[in-house]
């Protein structure tokens, strides 16, 4: 079939309320198996999972971290909400920052009498998750799914993920409204489970004031510096305008800012916001503040980051003493 005809047909008949669509949903919209097959063959459709599709332009325009969420959406559409999503999958569904973690789809099946057959990217857990630790959410254009609660998700990730990755997820959950009281209660309830001590170390390291994965990683890198801990997101008023630096040492007027949020997440400051930020920074510098700016590429060399910050602290301390 001619590609232009197939493309026009998909554009006009694709279900308007579906971001990803099952073969059954496409057929109900008038796109039968022949059209779907031709769409895949001609490069107009991407088959995400067995019987679940997305227009190629929607897929290719997304960065890798969004494609991970789309793959998860396809699994929800295929499973019709019959499973409980856990660990990193639940973190993604909760909208948490997930940095450098497995792209596999994590589901929980309470009773699994036999190994069964699953796709290669699906990790099946057999944990006992109380009903109170499961929430049901509707995802527009996809469907409804069961997932572990926010506190349970953070602790499951704390057990399974490397330390820094787990803290990124936990910080994000706190920033979205989870309280330390809720998290500590959930931690107490999981006593006796393998990995509880590991999870406790993660919980102890969390800070709700870290607003991005980069800020969390920067904070963890600075923990062992032989200088006082910085304050996070303090309010500074400059020429009547408010400024909240990521990290600050008031005693020496030093600020550390992380500027790399666009690499892994869907945030990008506008040109106007950048101009205003630079204006505030200039005003602070006129008052004697100095800055260290970090990007994602810098975080790959923690020793170098620590050396830069320590040197900047020493210079700032010397300037204040002069």
pLDDT in tens, 113-166: 444 446 788 999 988 899 999 999 999 989 999 999 999 999 999 999 999 999
- pTM of the predicted protein model: 0.88
Q: According to the model, what pLDDT value does residue 3 have? A: 86
Going by their DSSP bridges, the two strands 143-148 and 84-85 should be labelled as parallel
With a pLDDT cut of 90, the percent of the chain lying above it is 71
pLDDT tier, 177 (very low <50, low <70, confident <90, very high otherwise)? very high
Query: In which band, very low, low, confident or very high, does the pLDDT at 267 lie, cut at 50, 70 and 90?
Result: low
What per-residue confidence (pLDDT) applies to 28?
95
Token pair of 275, please?
């101009």
CB 175 within 8 A of CB 194: no
pLDDT at 114: 47
C-alpha–C-alpha distance, residues 284 and 194, integer Å: 49
pLDDT the model gives residue 5: 86
pLDDT bin (cut points 50, 70, 90) of residue 239 is: confident
Tell me if 13 sits within 8 A of 5, measured CB to CB.
no
Question: Residue 297: pLDDT above 90?
Answer: yes
Helix (H), strand (E) at residue 277: helix 271-286
Number of Cβ within a 10 Å radius of residue 166: 26
CA nearest neighbour of 169 among 145, 205, 117: 205
Per-residue pLDDT band for 265 (boundaries 50, 70, 90) equals very low
Lowest mean pLDDT among 85-89, 138-142, 222-226, 239-243: 239-243
Return d(Cα 38, Cα 15) in angstroms, integer: 18
Q: 3-60 and 213-321: same fold?
A: no
The answer on pLDDT for 112 being more than 60 is no
Average pLDDT over residues 281-305: 93
Domain boundaries, the chain: 3-60, 64-69+78-204, 213-321
The pLDDT, as a whole number, for residue 264 is 43
Q: How confident is the model at residue 275 (pLDDT cuts 50, 70, 90)?
A: confident
Architecture of the domain delimited by 3-60: Orthogonal Bundle (1.10)
Q: Does domain 213-321 correspond to CATH entry 3.40.50.720?
A: no
Q: Hey, which residues does 247 pair with through a beta bridge?
A: 232, 256
* Confidence at residue 241, expressed as pLDDT on a 0 to 100 scale: 82
Rounded to whole angstroms, the Cα distance separating 69 from 217 reads 22
């Amino acid at each position: 079939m001619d590609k232009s005809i197939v493309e026009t047909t998909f554009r006009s008949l694709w279900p308007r309320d579906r971001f990803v669509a099952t073969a059954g949903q496409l057929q109900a919209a008038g796109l039968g198996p022949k059209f779907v097959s031709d769409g895949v063959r001609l490069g107009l459709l991407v088959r995400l999972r067995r019987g679940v599709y997305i227009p190629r332009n929607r897929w290719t325009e997304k960065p890798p971290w969004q494609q991970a969420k789309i793959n998860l959406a396809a699994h929800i559409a295929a499973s019709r909400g019959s499973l409980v999503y856990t660990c990193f999958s639940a973190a993604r569904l909760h909208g948490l920052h997930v940095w450098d973690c497995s792209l596999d789809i994590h589901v929980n099946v309470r009773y699994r009498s036999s190994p069964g057959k699953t796709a290669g990217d699906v990790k099946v857990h057999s944990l006992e998750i109380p009903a109170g630790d499961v929430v049901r959410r509707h995802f527009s254009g996809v469907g409804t799914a069961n997932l572990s609660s926010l506190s349970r998700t953070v602790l499951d990730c704390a057990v399974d993920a490397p330390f820094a990755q787990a803290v990124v997820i936990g910080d994000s959950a706190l920033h979205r409204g989870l309280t330390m009281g809720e998290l500590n209660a959930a931690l107490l309830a999981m006593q006796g489970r393998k990995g509880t001590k590991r999870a406790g170390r993660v919980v102890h390291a969390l800070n709700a004031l870290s607003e991005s994965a980069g800020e969390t990683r920067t904070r963890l890198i600075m923990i062992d510096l032989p200088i006082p801990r910085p304050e996070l997101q303090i309010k500074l008023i400059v020429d009547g305008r408010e400024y909240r630096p990521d990290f600050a040492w008031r005693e020496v007027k030093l600020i550390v800012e992380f500027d790399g949020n666009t690499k892994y997440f869907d945030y990008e400051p506008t040109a106007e916001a950048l101009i205003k930020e630079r204006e505030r920074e200039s005003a602070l510098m006129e008052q004697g503040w100095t800055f260290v700016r970090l990007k994602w590429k810098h975080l790959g060399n923690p020793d170098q980051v620590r050396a830069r910050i320590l040197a900047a602290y020493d210079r700032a301390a010397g300037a204040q003493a002069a």
